Structure 1
Amino acid sequence: MKVEIWSDIVCPFCYIGKRHFEAALAKFPHADSVEVVWRSFELTPDYQPIPGRSVHESLAEKKGIPVAQAKQMGDYMSNMAKEAGLQYDFDRAVPTNTFLGHQLIHFAAKQGKQDAAKERLMAAYYTEGQNLNEIDTLVALAAELGLDASAARTALENGTYANEVRYDEYQAQQINVRGVPFFVFEDKYAVSGAQPAELFVEVLEKVWDETKPQPTIIAGGEACDVDGKNC
């Protein structure tokens, strides 16, 4: 079963949604047969970070609200994240354009470490206050994952995976993705938002039953039971 997930690195609901989906997979008996593919999505693709500006100040400017209100919004999200086992630290977070980060995730995908890269970048942004605008930072994170640091730097500097990021975003437009996280199951069903784990379990089971249907018995007779009682 294939599950494609469109999300942004700096989307607070996306990290929470990731945790909820992981919790669902832990309860799903066929988790080993689920292929998870992370798709790029930029909430603000034209965003240009201003050095020294906090997340609270950036959010306040974006929404046209006081900084104090923006901080309250951050506190609300932090409390929601705690329920998913995450510790957001918006006071340390460095506002970033995520285009380079998404390229690194595509680079990691070629090495079979896409999910690990997604997790590492989200943690670096939300809990460690690392600056994902800097190629040096991204290369260091790639090295932590056991990826070739030199190859990662070359890929980021040359924009090797830029078109793959753009293609993910093009696909999002084609299926009318209006917000993230956005989960697509086997190109058939979609779930929008950081839904509870229980809902993800229901969808996983529904899709599994449809893609791996059990045969309908139309006639029965004497047979050896699996417990050996009749044989």
Structure 2
Amino acid sequence: MGKGLVDSLHNEFDIEETWLGFEIHPETPPGGADLSGRYDPDDMAQMKAMLARRAEELGLPYNPSPILANSALALAGAEYARDNGRFPEFHREMLEAVFARGQNIGLREVIAETADRAGLDGKEMLKAIDENRYEERLKKSQDLGHELRVTGVPTFIINDRYAIVGAQPIETFRQIFGRVEEEAGQTSA
């Protein structure tokens, strides 16, 4: 997968990032839900076209899953990866699973495979998930997302002041980060 949005912006701006897991659709069954009857077909076509454009801008492959996956296992797996020093690798592999390989990240075998691809032990990850090791941490993250009024993923919150929701053009991020730098320069002058 090519350079991601955050990787590109790191070259231009001094960014400290923290990724938090948040389930937009926790009601999704473990096996996933068919997207075809869930959303207006025209809206889905527009969204897919927009995501394909964002992927192309960043040089990323785009072959999304046709279902809405339940992300609970993936979010718990991300916490396991964080605890084992492989969060960036797991996160990247998880995005590739969803957007490049079209996999259902609600399936245990996909989580284990993705962990292995990220240099983790997939069986150990599933064991940690089964033991509910990350339940409290994920609950706090979910509560924070509700507090911040997150309505879509990804949501980027910048300096607790600006929120960018969804797969926006990289120029949107450049404008906001430029504004933040300007504001920082004005306060330190």
The normalised TM-score by structure 2 is 0.78
Task: Tell me what 1:174 maps to.
Answer: 147
Residue 90 of structure 2 is aligned with which of 111, 117, 123? 117
- Contact 2:30 2:107 survives alignment (8 Å): no
- Contact 2:156 2:164 survives alignment (8 Å): yes
Structure 2, gaps ≥5 residues long: none
Structure 1, gaps ≥5 residues long: 1-17, 217-231
Amino acid at match of 2:167: A
Query: Does residue 59 of the first structure (1) align with residue 32 of the second (2)?
Result: no
- Contact 1:93 1:126 survives alignment (8 Å): no
- Contact 1:78 1:87 survives alignment (8 Å): no
Runs of 4+ in structure 1 off by over 4 angstroms are: 208-216
Q: Identify the structure with bigger relative contact order (alpha carbons < 8 Å, sequence gap 6+).
A: 1
Amino acid at match of 2:61: Q
Q: Which aligned pairs between 1:58-207 and structure 2 lie closer than 5 A?
A: 58-63=34-39, 65=40, 69=42, 72-73=45-46, 75-80=48-53, 81-90=55-64, 93-207=66-180
Amino acid at match of 1:24: L
Task: Tell me what 2:19 maps to.
Answer: 38
Q: Distance in 2 between matches of 1:212 and 1:158?
A: 48
The normalised TM-score by structure 1 is 0.66
> Highest Rg: 1 or 2?
1
Q: Give the number of equivalent residue pairs.
A: 186
Query: What percent of counterpart residues are identical?
Result: 25
Judging changes above 3 Å, is the alpha-carbon distance between structure 1 residues 193 and 73 closer, same or farther for their aligned structure 2 residues? closer
Residue 26 of structure 1 is aligned with which of 11, 14, 17? 11
SS class of match (1:198)? helix
- Contact 1:93 1:129 survives alignment (8 Å): yes
Amino acid at match of 1:36: E
Shift of 1:47: 0.7
Deviations 1:142-193 (A, max 9, x none): 1221223343121121221122222111101112223332212343443334
Q: Distance in 2 between matches of 1:71 and 1:190?
A: 23
- Contact 1:124 1:130 survives alignment (8 Å): yes
Task: Tell me what 1:48 maps to.
Answer: 29
